Structure 1
Amino acid sequence: MSKISENKKIISLSTILLVLCLLIAGCSTGAHSSASSSSSSKKGSSNVIQAYGELDPQVSGQQIIADKEGFFKQEGLNVKNHLMPGPDQNAALISSGTAQVIFGSIYNNISVAASNVDAKLIAPLANAGNTQSIVARKGLNIKSAKDLEGLKIGATTGSGVIVAIQSMCKEMGVDFNKIKFVNLQAVDQLTALEKGDVDAIAVWEPWVGKAVAAGGKVLFTGKKSYLPDKKGNVNWLNFYMTVAVSGDFYRNHKDEAVKFLKALDKATAFINQHPDEAAAIVAKEIKIPTSDAKRIMAKNDYSMAWNQNFVDSASVMGNYMKAMKNISKVPALSSYSTPDLLKQVDSKLIQVNN
C-alpha cells in the first residue's frame, strides 16, 4: 500500500527507457485501469482526463470516491482513472503526456521536481504520518525511548518513516547512531520480526496491521507515541499525499483542473462524513478487505488544507532526501507547486503561502 520507500527512487535508467517507450508507443506500461476499457484511450484528449493513482486508500482515496460517487461527472468532467501498484512510473507518464493528473506523495513530488519533469502539485490530500510506524516484536520489553539504543530495527534504506525515528530521537534524547538498522523491504521486515531476527521494524500500512496481528506492538508513529515515557500526540512525521498535474494541463486547462479539485473536495468531505461507506467503496475498488481499508483510512487525516504542516513537511522531506543522496538539490516548494487553483475551490483552504 502506501510506501514511502517506493517513492525514494528518482528517474533511473529504466525510467528513462520507459519515457522513450511511452513517447514512441503511446502506451501506459504496467498501469492497471480502474475502468473496464484499456489504457489505449486517446492520449492528451481535451475530453478525457487521464488520472493515475495507486492501489492505496491513502494515495487514491479521494480519486476513487470522486469517480464512484459521480463527483467528477457532476463537475462536467470525463475522467479515466488508472490505479497502479506504486508511483515508479509517474515521472514517465507526465513526461510523455500520457497522464494529465498523478496522485502520489510529497516524496514523489520532490523526486519528480528534482528530475526537472514539468509538473505542478496543486493540492495536498491527506496526511498519512500516522500510518508510518515503528513496531516492536512480540515480547520485547521497552521501558523508555532510550531502550531503542542498541536494538536492531528493520527498515528500508531511504524510507521516509526513518524521519519519524530521527525526530523521536531528537526529542527524547536517544542517540540515533546507536540504533542498528537492517536494510529490509517491507515483506521481509515482517518475516524478520516474526522470527526475532530484528527487535522492531519501521514500516507502513498494511504491514503495520500484519505485524500487530502477528503479536507486534506499535511503539510510535509519525503522529502518535505509545512509548512508556511519551504517550499521546506527537509531530514526528507529516507525510502528505498529493495531487499534481502536468505542466501542459496546468497552463492550458486550468478551468478543468479547478473542476477536478472541486470533485476531490467533495470526495474529501464524503470520506470524513461517511468513513465506513467510503472505506467499503475504496476496498472494493482496490480489492482489499473492508476491515483493512477502515483501519488504514481511520489513521489518515483527509484534508486539502494548504497549511504550515504541509509546507514544512516538504522542506523536511526534501532535506532528508538530499541527506540520503536521493536528490542532489532540494527544489523549492514554490518551484513545483501552486495553491492558485485550490484557492478558486475554497480560499479558506489556503492557510499559508509557500
Structure 2
Amino acid sequence: MKKSMVGLGFAVCMLAALVAGCGSGSQKTEKEAPQAASQEIVAYGVIDPQISAQQIIADKKGFFAAEGVKVTNKLIQSGGDISPLISGGTAQVSFETPYTDIAVAANNVGVKIVAPMADIGNTQAVVAGKNVTIQKAKDLEGKKIGIAAGAGVLIAIRNMCTELGVDINKIQFVILSPSDQIAALDRGDIDLMACWEPWVSNAVKAGGKLLFSGLNSYLPDKQGPVSWLSFYTTMQVTDQFLKEHPQEIQAMLKALKKATDFIHEHPDEAAEIIAKEINLDKEQVKRIMGQNKYSMQFDDHFKKSSDEMASFMKEMKNIPSKPEFRQYADPTLLKQALPELVTVAE
C-alpha cells in the first residue's frame, strides 16, 4: 500500500498549509432513478479503502445515480491534502476523518460532518520486534516505541496504560516516520512501533508481533475487544454547501447507506471494485477492509471519540483551541434521510 493509508501523524504536517489557506458507474438499479440533479457534485476522497470505500461503491454500483445525484469522485493521494482544499472552498464535499474537521473548525473554517463512514481503530496498532518478549503489559515499561509525530495511536497507548496499570512515563517514545519505524524495528534500534496500515502488516510480515490495536488486544494479560481508540472516517461538507444543497446531501447519504450495506453483504465484490479503482491488490484491500467497522451510525460513541480526538489535538498543540462537537458535526440531514442511524444525545 502507499502512503495514502490513514494515519494521524502525516496530517499534522498539513496544518500549516491549512492556516495559511484561512468515475461514474453505469450499472442499472432495480428502482427507477429519481429526477437527476442539475448540478454535478465533486466529492473529494482518498486513495484508501478505509476512507473512500462507500464513496467508490456508491459511484461504481450506481447508487448515487439511483438517488438522483450526479457525483464525480476525485480521489487524491493523501488525506492531509484535503484540509487546505476545505479551507479554500474547493472541497465542498469530502471524505476524510474527524481530525481534518476538527483542525479546520479550530481555524474558524465552516465545515460539518454529516455522517460517519467507518471506525478504523483496529488498523492503528502497536507491534513488538521479533526479538522482543512481552509477557505482560507492564513489560512495556523501559521499552523504546517508534511513533510518528502527533500520531493518534498514542491515544490507544495511553488508554491501554491506564487500564492495565502501565506507567507511560517509563516508556521511551522515539519520533520516526512509518518507513523508518520498520527499519529501526528490524535493526533493533526500537523495541516496538506504533503505527497504522499498511505499516502494521508489513512489520508483522517481517517477524514482528501484533500486541494491540485501538479495538483489540493480544497482550497475554488482556486479550479480546477493547475500546482504546475509535478512529472514524467521515463525510463532511462546507457550511455553505450544507445550507444551499440539503436535498443533494440527503440523497448522497441514502446512496452511501446502500454502499455500506453492499460492503457487508458482498465483501469480495466490494473489495474487487475498490481495488480496481485505486489500483491495489484485491486481497490486500479485502484484508484491510475486514478490520474496519463500516457503519454510518451517528451515536454517542462517535461523539465521545471525536471529543477525545479534539482534546488530544489541543494537548499536542496541533490546534489553537478545542472546538465544540456541534461546531464541526451536524446530524440533522442524516436524521431526516435515515432517522434510524442517529441516536446521539442532543
TM over 0.5: yes
Q: Kindly provide the amino acid, as one letter, of the partner of residue 148 in structure 2.
A: T
After superposition, what is the alpha-carbon deviation per residue over 1:18-74, rounded to whole angstroms, capped at 9, x for unaligned? x49xxxxxxxxxxxxx57xxxxxxxxx961101111111111111111111111111
Q: What corresponds to 2:64 in structure 1?
A: 72
Alignment of 1:3-14 (within 5 A): 3-9=7-13, 11-12=15-16, 14=17
Q: What corresponds to 1:228 in structure 2?
A: 220
Q: Kindly provide the amino acid, as one letter, of the partner of residue 158 in structure 1.
A: G
Is the CA contact (8 Å cut-off) linking 1:124 and 1:305 kept in structure 2?
yes
Q: Kindly provide the amino acid, as one letter, of the partner of residue 269 in structure 1.
A: D
Q: What corresponds to 1:332 in structure 2?
A: 324
Is the CA contact (8 Å cut-off) linking 1:10 and 1:115 kept in structure 2?
no
After superposition, what is the alpha-carbon deviation per residue over 1:268-323, rounded to whole angstroms, capped at 9, x for unaligned? 00011111111111111111111111111000000000112101001111111111
SS for the counterpart of 1:232 is strand
- For 1:237 and 1:160, the matched residues in 2 are separated by 8
TM-score by length of 1: 0.90
Alignment of 1:66-145 (within 5 A): 66-145=58-137
* Shift in alpha-carbon separation, 1:289–1:280, aligned structure 2, 3 A: same
- For 1:9 and 1:350, the matched residues in 2 are separated by 33
Q: Kindly provide the amino acid, as one letter, of the partner of residue 81 in structure 2.
A: Q
State the number of aligned residues. 331
- For 2:191 and 2:82, the matched residues in 1 are separated by 35
> Which consecutive unaligned segments of at least 5 residues does structure 1 have?
21-33, 36-44
After superposition, what is the alpha-carbon deviation per residue over 1:206-240, rounded to whole angstroms, capped at 9, x for unaligned? 11111111111100000000000001111000111
Q: What corresponds to 1:210 in structure 2?
A: 202
> Which consecutive unaligned segments of at least 5 residues does structure 2 have?
25-36
Q: Which runs of 4+ in 1 moved over 6 A?
A: none
- For 2:127 and 2:286, the matched residues in 1 are separated by 20
Q: Kindly provide the amino acid, as one letter, of the partner of residue 3 in structure 1.
A: G
Q: What corresponds to 1:170 in structure 2?
A: 162
Q: What corresponds to 2:309 in structure 1?
A: 317
Alignment of 1:147-158 (within 5 A): 147-158=139-150
Is the CA contact (8 Å cut-off) linking 1:280 and 1:290 kept in structure 2?
yes
SS for the counterpart of 2:96 is strand
Is the CA contact (8 Å cut-off) linking 2:95 and 2:233 kept in structure 1?
yes
After superposition, what is the alpha-carbon deviation per residue over 1:130-159, rounded to whole angstroms, capped at 9, x for unaligned? 110001111311110000001111101211
Pick from 256, 259, 268 the counterpart of residue 267 of structure 1.
259
After superposition, what is the alpha-carbon deviation per residue over 1:68-106, rounded to whole angstroms, capped at 9, x for unaligned? 111111111111111111122323322333222111111
Determine whether 1:299 maps to 2:303.
Answer: no
TM-score by length of 2: 0.92
Q: What corresponds to 2:269 in structure 1?
A: 277
Is the CA contact (8 Å cut-off) linking 2:15 and 2:318 kept in structure 1?
no
Deviation at 1:353?
2.3
- For 2:82 and 2:215, the matched residues in 1 are separated by 28
Determine whether 1:351 maps to 2:343.
Answer: yes
Is the CA contact (8 Å cut-off) linking 1:120 and 1:337 kept in structure 2?
yes
- For 1:67 and 1:293, the matched residues in 2 are separated by 18
Is the CA contact (8 Å cut-off) linking 1:53 and 1:84 kept in structure 2?
yes
SS for the counterpart of 2:7 is coil
Is the CA contact (8 Å cut-off) linking 1:155 and 1:186 kept in structure 2?
yes
- For 2:272 and 2:184, the matched residues in 1 are separated by 32
SS for the counterpart of 1:89 is helix
